[in-house]
Amino acid sequence: MRVPKFLFSLALAGGATFAADLSGQYKPVADKLIDAALADNDGYAKLAYLCDRIGARLSGMPSLDRAIQWASATMKSDGLSNVRVIPVKVPKWVRGAESAQLLAPENKPLHMLGLGMSVGTPKGGITADVVVVEDFDQLQKLGADGVRGKIVLYNEKWVNYGATGQYRRAGPSIAARMGAVAVLLRSVTPLAMQIPHTGTLDYDEAQPKIPAAALSVEDALMLGRFAAQKIPIRVHLEMAARQDPDADSGDVMGEIPGREHPEEVVVLGGHIDSWDVGRGAQDDGSGIIASLQAVALIKKLGLQPRRTIRVVFWVNEENGGRGGEAYRAWVGDAIKNHVAAIEMDGGAEAPVGFGYGAGGFGGRGHGPAAAPNPAAESSMAMLTQIGKLLERINAGEITGGGGGSDIGPLTRDGVPGLAERSVGLHYFDWHHTETDTLDKVDPEDFRKSVAAMAVMSYILADMPEKLAGSR
């Protein structure tokens, strides 16, 4: 439906007028929340316990069960209401022993990590010649005759997580369709430090499932140089990966009930699971603990917004997304009362602001802005005024492109989605590796993330108006 220009102008004016009141109305409480967050040590201590004492938390691992139990107990000790665990059946993928050995033109081990959800090799492994391609077009030009019976190495260049990640997600099945026996992948990262990066793949059920593993950037580039010189490459790959029956797990949540409209909800959080390498500090321990500490400080300061604030630790984001789907099913028809959903899944480097609307990668990259319309413009005006309250910590930028994997089932059904954004200088250096450990999280940057999440979630839950899409 076309909107008359005079109505469009009125909507913008009304939104801007109301939004202009937000920064003045909420400055005292915003400053109080920021002061509390910047002085807080409890949040980082919680993150340290999660990373150092519980550790890696891949779906199906006993350590994830311990993390869920600890999270539930911690929410209760923070004084949150309605603490519960929603049961979720999650995939149980087991890595097993794995290795890759270059046999020709020289004999040396390769730095590798199997991709999540990959099948294993036959007993004794796979030995085959390697063909190297930089993109899918080069693979297609080789044709089935050039690929059949070989290992395909995707030596793709880093562009960004969305563009480069497609080779990890779809590459194995595309190569399998052409007769490849296995896939190697240049790790999805801009940093070369002999560190392979794992991550899940998405098998096409219509194609054979072949083993797939990531190589360090340096090893992939070396093989690429061999290929450019037309030097034959031969690799032996062994992977004992397997898929066990689904395991019992759960989403963890707690609330501050709203004082006027407890049925209306602003939900915030991230994912409690991590990969089985590293400690899941940035991805996404920092996101869930910053969200929890934001809500804990709101509670500690005796603040109770009009609407309910609910913090959720979703499970199985890394290799299945079942936690987000289970939460959506649990919400049911009450989704109409979800006012906003905020995800923090881009690490806790210094925050710069929030993305809003369609697009984005949960704070891991700027997505496209939604098409302009009066309602969206009015919402952006309100969010911009909330952002002004975060300028003292340099976290007031509001852009298009929000959301994330865990809140995707909510946003696709109309819930306004936001993602906290950081400077993102090093996130993909550590992402899905052994190096995702607590030392990568700067305490001061983490406290600023707590502050940003606290201010945004509280004001969205308390302000009289709602964002576009809220019903």
DSSP codes, 103-146: EESS-EEE-EEEPBTPPPPPTT-EEEEEEEESSHHHHHHHHHHH
What would you report as the CA-atom Rg of the chain, rounded to the nearest whole angstrom? 23
- Reply yes or no on whether 98 is catalytic: no
C-alpha closest to that of 323 among 432, 203, 409: 409
Q: How far apart are CA 231 and CA 130, in angstroms?
A: 10
Contact yes or no for 109/129 (Cβ under 8 A): no
Tokens in use for 376?
């969206």
Residues ≥6 apart with Cβ < 8 Å to 231: 105
Paired tokens of 104: 């020709």
Task: Say if CB 289 and CB 48 are below 8 A apart.
Answer: no
**In 287-323, which positions are buried (b, 16+ CB within 10 angstroms) versus exposed (e)?**
bbbbbbbbbbbbbeeebbbebbbbbbbbbbbbbbbbb
Would you state the structure tokens that stand for residue 258, as one six-digit string?
Answer: 């709203």
Q: Which of 317, 318, 343, 349 is catalytic?
A: 317
Please say whether the beta carbons of 210 and 172 come within 8 A.
Answer: yes
Q: Which amino acid is at 224?
A: G
Comparing C-alpha atoms, which of 426, 371, 445, 446 is closest to residue 401?
Answer: 371
Tell me how far apart the alpha carbons of residues 283 and 384 are, in angstroms, rounded to a whole number: 27
Write the CA distances from 130 to 120, 149, 236, integer angstroms. Answer: 18, 9, 10
Distance (Å, rounded) from C-alpha 179 to C-alpha 197? Answer: 25
Among the listed residues 442, 441, 445, 431, the one whose alpha carbon sits nearest the alpha carbon of residue 191: 431
Known catalytic residues are: 317
